[in-house]
């Protein structure tokens, strides 16, 4: 995995609460055997009309949203299914980070393993970001702080191990594989066998 | 004397290969890994790219469920009913299992079915196990006192390669359900009421333990319905302590322990309970005797009311957006809504007792004109058992469709979908926007409520169809 240290971008805001993984990438797009090419269908039913044309009033279709790498979303983003296609689609579209007050457990775990920064900020910061779409912010994973316009900085929270893996570009399978001797010994010595 | 611990803590502690520290999560051993065609192809690609084998094929249970048609399949051409992508995914899974030496419970096995239906049915799901699957409804298996949770595809690769996961220990949430369920109120109504109470994020970061006399009174299939929807309350896992009901269910199943192993296992399982005085991080209580049949009115499972209650009101924009999508009005009960589609099935309510419940309501009655009703067994075994009891004939005589096993319209990946704007009363687990088809409006309910609604042609109280 490519190391992630600093993300500098404008924000795009989806204020709706409880945006589920079916909305991020609908089930009909999961009949793929690769991770690539899902970005064109991210938020598909919010983004496109029935005839395939873009819905002009949807935030991602506004000219200002082009090139924004940081998605600020309503509380409990990514709830629902375990489909890793959700972070794959967001990354493929061009997002590098998702910011909310709460991010569902499985989505967050999947996102961080793919280099999509899923980070939690306090309610006040979240409220400010929701009200000020399109601002330039810098997310510094080294210091776990977000730099907002006007020299303001606020802390964000992220699991320490995930942060370490992201900063160093560590593949978690490689990390886990270093414990294979302990796994073998666990299998041999446990009191019952599955 | 040792510190009292919860059921979850006992199962967790029994599987820690490497303890977690402030810097590093625990290495947790996985006893059963269930895999299906949709969330594994990219994981097999990682194994292939790194020249890695599947470490424990004997602890890996593979089947086909999400992308499979619910029409009969004997050749590859039959798979195309679900679309070319879906058919290719099934073929890819067959090839991956062949290449990596995995026994696939696929076509022709007689054992194919929804991952969370076949695990218990085969007796592979057992108390005290850690069980994962690339599917968020893996929480279902917690009904046996297993620690079971959904994982992403990267983690599927981790388990295939190492039989372990890197995990932070979650917190615990006790959900106490006391009292006696009134007649006509089911396990589905209980879990919908629980999610309505805690909200769709109430369990985030937690493992739920369902406790109380209303829970212990439930059958295994009812307990599975409860644990299945833990994720809809944000909790990755939900557990119920094993007891005589659990042990009776498992006795004699193909993958249950046999002979002396059975006796040892039962002794171990009986110790799997939360000690008196053990502490939960959070707890909530629900009085079962006050519950009525429940239906959802919005676009997540937490937006739920009693069948005769009026839809609530709120100025919150997300709430308004949900009501607009569902085309329902605050102040009116859901029983005024006309029904287009009824779906009975899924890992939530696709087991024999669910089909029986729907058939009981349908018997001697007719599905209303203009309503399409699909009844989809959760597995080939459920299908065979239902047919042995003549349930298929009752269902078809009522004018409903009796289909082949699979996830079907719960996720709508296989061509079984509702059309834009149609209202679907569904026994599945998610009423998200577009979940059952673009623009489809889903109302979650029990099998009895779904069947009653099919007959009435509008959302109906099943207690009027006894």
Residues A14-66 have pLDDT tens digits of 999 999 999 999 999 999 999 999 999 999 999 999 999 999 999 999 999 99
Residue B462 three-state SS = helix
- CA separation for the pair A123, A75 (Å, rounded): 9
pLDDT of residue A67: 93
Residues B7-23 have pLDDT tens digits of 999 999 999 999 999 99
Quick one: tokens of B386?
């239902």
* Residues B347, B316 contacting (CB under 8 angstroms): no
- CA separation for the pair B23, A62 (Å, rounded): 42
Q: What value does the mean pLDDT of chain B take? A: 97
Domains B7-167 and B171-240+268-289 share a fold: no
CA distance A156 to chain B (A): 17
Lowest mean pLDDT among A40-44, B1-5, B65-69, B123-127: B1-5
**Is residue B32 less than 8 Å (CB to CB) from chain A?**
yes
Give B99's pLDDT tier (boundaries 50, 70, 90).
very high
Secondary structure element (H or E) that encloses residue A46, with its range: helix A44-47
What percentage of chain A has pLDDT greater than the value 70?
100
**Is residue B140 less than 8 Å (CB to CB) from chain A?**
no
Number of H helices, E strands in chain B: 17, 19
Spatial CA neighbour of B405 closest among B450, B425, B375, B428: B375
What would the mean pLDDT of B250-279 be, rounded to a whole number?
98
Yes or no, beta carbons of A81 and B85 under 8 Å apart:
no
Yes or no, beta carbons of B162 and A173 under 8 Å apart:
yes
Does the pLDDT value for residue B1 go beyond 90?
no
CA distance A105 to chain B (A): 6
Where are any strands of DSSP class E within B311-400? 341-344, 372-375
pLDDT of residue A2: 87
- Counted across chains A and B, CB pairs separated by less than 8 A come out at 179
Q: What is the domain partition of chain B in residue ranges?
A: 7-167, 171-240+268-289, 294-464
pLDDT of residue A134: 96
Query: What is the fold of B7-167?
Result: Aconitase; domain 3 (3.30.499)
pLDDT of residue A176: 96
Quick one: tokens of B368?
């209303």
**Is residue B266 less than 8 Å (CB to CB) from chain A?**
no
Shortest CB distance from A30 goes to which of B32, B38, B150?
Answer: B38
**Is residue B81 less than 8 Å (CB to CB) from chain A?**
no
Q: Could you name the CATH architecture of B171-240+268-289?
A: 3-Layer(aba) Sandwich (3.40)
Does the pLDDT value for residue B265 go beyond 90?
yes
Give B466's pLDDT tier (boundaries 50, 70, 90).
confident
**Is residue B168 less than 8 Å (CB to CB) from chain A?**
yes
Residue B210 three-state SS = strand
Yes or no, beta carbons of B136 and A76 under 8 Å apart:
no
The helix-helix angle for A105-113 and A160-168 (nearest 10°) equals 20
What would the mean pLDDT of B160-165 be, rounded to a whole number?
98
- Closest residue, chain B, to A114 (C-alpha): B154
Spatial CA neighbour of B121 closest among B257, B252, B267: B252
Number of H helices, E strands in chain A: 8, 7
Quick one: tokens of A22?
């079916």
Give B250's pLDDT tier (boundaries 50, 70, 90).
very high
Residues B444-465 have pLDDT tens digits of 999 999 999 999 999 999 999 9
**Where do the domains of chain A lie, and which CATH numbers do they carry?**
6-189 (3.20.19.10)
Does the pLDDT value for residue B364 go beyond 70?
yes
Complex ipTM value: 0.97
- CA separation for the pair A95, A115 (Å, rounded): 10
Residues B105-124 have pLDDT tens digits of 999 999 999 999 999 999 99
**Is residue B92 less than 8 Å (CB to CB) from chain A?**
yes
Yes or no, beta carbons of A172 and B317 under 8 Å apart:
no
CA distances to A43, A47, A160, A165, B413 from A51, in Å: 16, 12, 45, 43, 21
Shortest CB distance from A31 goes to which of B83, B150, B300?
Answer: B83
Shortest CB distance from A22 goes to which of B29, B41, B430?
Answer: B430
- Closest residue, chain A, to B20 (C-alpha): A161
Yes or no, beta carbons of B41 and A114 under 8 Å apart:
no
* Beta pairing, strands B171-178 & A152-155: unpaired
User: Which A residues, 19 through 38, put their C-beta within 8 Å of a C-beta on chain B?
Assistant: 20, 22-23, 26-28, 30-35
CA distance A35 to chain B (A): 7
Residues B23-40 have pLDDT tens digits of 999 999 999 999 999 999
What would the mean pLDDT of B184-192 be, rounded to a whole number?
98
Query: What is the fold of B294-464?
Result: Aconitase; domain 3 (3.30.499)
**Is residue B236 less than 8 Å (CB to CB) from chain A?**
yes
Sheet of strand A152-155: strand arrangement: A117-120, A97-100, A70-73, A6-14, A136-140, A145-148, A152-155
Yes or no, beta carbons of B23 and A34 under 8 Å apart:
no
Which of A90, A171, A173, A182 to mutate against chain B (most B CBs within 10 Å)? A173
Residue B153 with chain A: CB contacts under 8 Å: 84, 110
pLDDT of residue A89: 98
- CA separation for the pair B70, B405 (Å, rounded): 6
């Amino acid at each position: 995995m490519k190391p992630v240290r600093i993300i500098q971008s404008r924000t795009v805001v989806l204020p709706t609460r409880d945006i589920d993984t079916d909305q991020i990438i609908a089930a009909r797009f999961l009949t793929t055997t690769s991770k690539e090419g899902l970005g064109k269908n991210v938020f598909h039913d919010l983004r496109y009309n029935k005839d395939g044309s873009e819905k002009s009033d949807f935030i991602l279709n506004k000219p200002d949203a082009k090139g924004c790498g940081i998605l600020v979303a309503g509380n409990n983003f990514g709830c629902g299914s375990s489909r890793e296609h959700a972070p794959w689609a967001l990354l493929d579209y061009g997002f590098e980070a998702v910011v909310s007050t709460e991010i569902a457990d499985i989505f967050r775990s999947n996102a961080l393993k793919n280099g999509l920064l899923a980070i939690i900020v306090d309610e006040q910061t979240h409220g400010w970001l929701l009200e000020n779409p399109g601002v330039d912010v810098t997310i510094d994973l080294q210091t776990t702080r977000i730099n907002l316009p006007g020299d303001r900085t606020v802390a964000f929270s992220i699991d320490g191990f995930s942060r370490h893996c992201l900063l160093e570009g560590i593949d978690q399978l490689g990390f886990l594989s270093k414990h294979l001797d302990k796994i073998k010994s666990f299998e041999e010595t446990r009191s019952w066998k599955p | 004397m040792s510190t009292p611990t919860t059921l979850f803590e006992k199962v967790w502690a029994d599987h820690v290969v490497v303890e977690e520290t402030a810097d590093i999560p625990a290495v947790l051993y996985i006893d059963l890994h269930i895999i299906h065609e949709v969330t594994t192809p990219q994981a097999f690609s990682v194994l292939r790219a790194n020249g890695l084998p599947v470490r424990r094929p004997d602890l890996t249970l593979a089947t086909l469920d999400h992308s499979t048609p619910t029409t009969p399949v004997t050749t590859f051409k039959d798979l195309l009913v679900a679309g070319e992508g879906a058919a290719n995914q099934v073929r890819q899974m067959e090839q991956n299992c062949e290449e990596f030496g995995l026994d696939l419970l696929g076509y022709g096995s007689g054992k194919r079915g929804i991952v969370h239906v076949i695990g218990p049915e085969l007796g592979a799901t057992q108390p005290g196990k850690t069980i994962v699957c690339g599917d968020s409804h893996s929480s279902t298996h917690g009904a046996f006192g297993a620690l079971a949770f959904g994982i992403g595809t990267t983690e599927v690769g981790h388990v295939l390669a190492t039989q372990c996961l890197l995990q932070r220990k979650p917190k615990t949430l006790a959900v106490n359900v006391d009292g006696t369920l009134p007649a006509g109120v089911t396990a589905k109504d209980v879990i919908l009421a629980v999610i309505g109470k805690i909200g769709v994020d109430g369990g985030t970061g937690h493992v739920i333990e369902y406790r109380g006399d209303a829970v212990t009174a439930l059958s295994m299939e009812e307990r599975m319905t409860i644990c299945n929807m833990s994720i809809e309350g944000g909790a990755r896992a939900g557990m119920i302590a094993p007891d005589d009901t659990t042990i009776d269910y498992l006795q004699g199943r193909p993958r249950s322990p046999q002979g002396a192993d059975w006796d040892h296992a039962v002794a171990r399982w009986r110790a799997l309970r939360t000690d008196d005085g053990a502490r939960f991080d959070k707890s909530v209580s629900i009085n079962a005797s006050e519950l009525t049949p429940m239906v959802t009115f919005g676009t997540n499972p937490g937006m739920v009311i009693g069948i005769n209650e009026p839809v609530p009101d709120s100025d919150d924009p997300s709430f308004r957006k949900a009501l607009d999508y569902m085309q329902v009005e605050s102040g009116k009960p859901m029983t005024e809504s006309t029904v287009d589609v009824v779906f009975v099935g899924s890992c939530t309510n696709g087991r024999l007792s669910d089909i029986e419940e729907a058939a009981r309501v349908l018997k001697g009655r007719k599905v209303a004109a203009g309503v399409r009703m699909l009844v989809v067994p959760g597995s080939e075994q459920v299908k065979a058992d239902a047919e042995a009891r003549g349930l298929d004939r009752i269902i078809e005589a009522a004018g409903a469709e009796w289909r082949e096993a699979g996830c079907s319209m719960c996720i709508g990946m296989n061509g079984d979908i509702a059309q834009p704007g149609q209202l679907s009363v569904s026994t599945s687990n998610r009423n998200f926007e577009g979940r059952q088809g673009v623009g489809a409006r889903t109302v979650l309910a029990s099998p009895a409520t779904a069947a009653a609604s099919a007959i009435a042609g509008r959302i109906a109280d099943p207690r009027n169809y006894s």
